[in-house]
Amino acid sequence: MSTQSVDPRTGIAFGPVIPDTTSTQLREFCDDAAQAAQPWGDLLREERARMLRAVADALDAAGGDLIPLADSESALGLPRLTGELARTTFQIRTFADALDDGSYLGVIIDPADSRPVPVGHPDLRRMLVPLGPVAVYGASNFPFAFSVAGGDTASALAAGCPVVVKAHPAHPQLSDAVLECMRDALAAAGAPSGVISIVHGFIAGAELIVDPAIRAGAFTGSGRGGHALFTLAAGRTDPIPFYGELGSVNPVFVTSSAATRDNLAAEYLDSLLLGGGQFCSNPSVLVVPSDSGLLASIVEQVSARPDAVLLHEGVAHLFAATSTQLASIHGVRLAAGALGPAGTAGFTQSPLIFAVAAADVITDPSLLSIECFGPAGVVIEYASTDEAMAVARLVPGCLAATIHSDDTDPLAASLLPVLARRAGRVIWNGWPTGVAVTSAQQHGGPHPATTNSLHTSVGTTAMRRFLRPVAYQSFPQALLPTELRTTE
């Protein structure tokens, strides 16, 4: 088997054919990662930080070649991809800053206490240490920020873990080009060989997560693919953690106190259709008062929005299937747009707006579990605050949930604790698209949005996914890790 790049604008294949990675090659890459694990993990924090900054500098310097290549494989456009590469290298440098700070290690030093037990105890010193090689599965919708050089890779490398990347078939040439850039930069900076490798192909992706050298997995993509890999990771004779981000409907609730705000409909469409609606933080469900007129305003404005270019053929097929599934649910009607491709070249799609009464959703909440990945949104109209609350209680685990309201509105106060139990990030008078890379970020929520809601895939605490605690008891200073030593 092999992979070839396809231009989403035309559907035409181009560029060299990239063969799938063989089982023998995969084993070599994983063995190399295992050999690199100790020297990479044992580097001083400042050394690893220096090497990460060298990678970021190299990617920035190669942007003139990488960005057009990314556009040819994704059709996301040069402005968007320029910003995404900048976000990616900023993220790498942010993890380097976290290494300089060192607090991510969670160091706790509890000196010996000679008093009788239970108060007395031996000298105990605790810190987080790297897990070992990590399998990272690239996503199609962010060819830089959630792919070979993305947050999963950057956080694993920062934590001291080598990485084997499974390239996404939507951008194989870019994946190889980014990998080569990173590998060259790491080698020039003095990193051990085997710190980062790449594999291609469906079979290689399945074999990677069960390879004995791999100690954790990170994935952004479809629920079906993520669950399959999660099952493989959990079914090993030595189960390993698997951090899968699987998608989300990210509901937005608008109360009557906010429903008449200027530009609310336009802001919703801006967020919904950003990147062709192909963001995991896409606000695909909007819950509004039935007498607000918001639905009519959205329907009126969406006709002026351009068609979206879907990322690849797989997304086009999935969008067609899920939009048809939404349209078949009792009470759901297509308020704007037309099912099926809007254009004849490539994978294009006009925006779709579905509408449904909250009473129908309460009777059949299945649409709340359907992520229509692409330019489609569902507007749920509620006739009372009780209906709005009932819908909120039916929302499954999601990455983000939003409230548009005034701070004195009692519905907002009631919605917040309900949504906070269902989302990793709750937003006030804003929109879920645009996930800031910062230490306080939480990009991850309860299942089915992710396979593990305890961690984030964005922000500096993403490093914790690839670290485990070790307590050292009664060791002499000279034998302790440098971070646990104290001066007498």
Are the beta carbons of 408 and 414 closer than 8 angstroms? no
How far apart (Å, rounded) are the C-alpha atoms in residues 326 and 364?
12
Among 354, 377, 375, residue whose Cα is nearest residue 308:
375
Q: Which residues are registered as beta bridge partners of 338?
A: none
DSSP string computed for 288-322: EETTS-HHHHHHHHHTTSPPEE-SSHHHHHHHHHH
Phi, psi dihedral angles at 381 (to 5 degrees): -105, 125
C-alpha to C-alpha distance for 71 and 165, rounded to whole angstroms: 21
Query: Is 167 within 8 Å of 20 (Cβ atoms)?
Result: no
**Closest residue by Cα to residue 191 from 32, 61, 85, 65:** 32
Clarify whether 181 is annotated catalytic: no
Q: State how far the Cα of 35 lies from the Cα of 37, in Å rounded to an integer.
A: 6
Give the number of other Cβ atoms within 10 Å of residue 281's Cβ: 22
Helix (H) or strand (E) holding 381: strand 376-382
Name the catalytic one among 161, 280, 372, 398. 280
Report DSSP state, residue 450: B
Active site residue 280: yes
- Residue 464, sorted as left (phi over 0), alpha (psi -120 to 50) or beta, turns out to be alpha
CA distance 309 to 85: 20
Residue of 73, 245, 371, 387 marked active site: 245
Question: Rounded to the nearest 5 degrees, what angle is found at the Cα of 41, between the Cα atoms of 444 and 156?
Answer: 20
SS3 breakdown of the chain: % helix, strand, coil, rounded to 5? Answer: 40, 20, 40
Per-residue HEC secondary structure of 267-284 comes to: HHHHHHCHHHHCCCCCCC
How far apart are alpha carbons 4 and 10 in whole angstroms? 14
* CA dist., res. 372 & res. 370, Å (int): 6
Q: What is the DSSP string of 109-167?
A: EE--B-SPTTT-B--EEEEEEE---EEEE--SS-TTTTSTTSHHHHHHHHHT--EEEE-
- Identify residue 78 by its one-letter amino acid code: L
What are the residue numbers of the active site? 245, 280
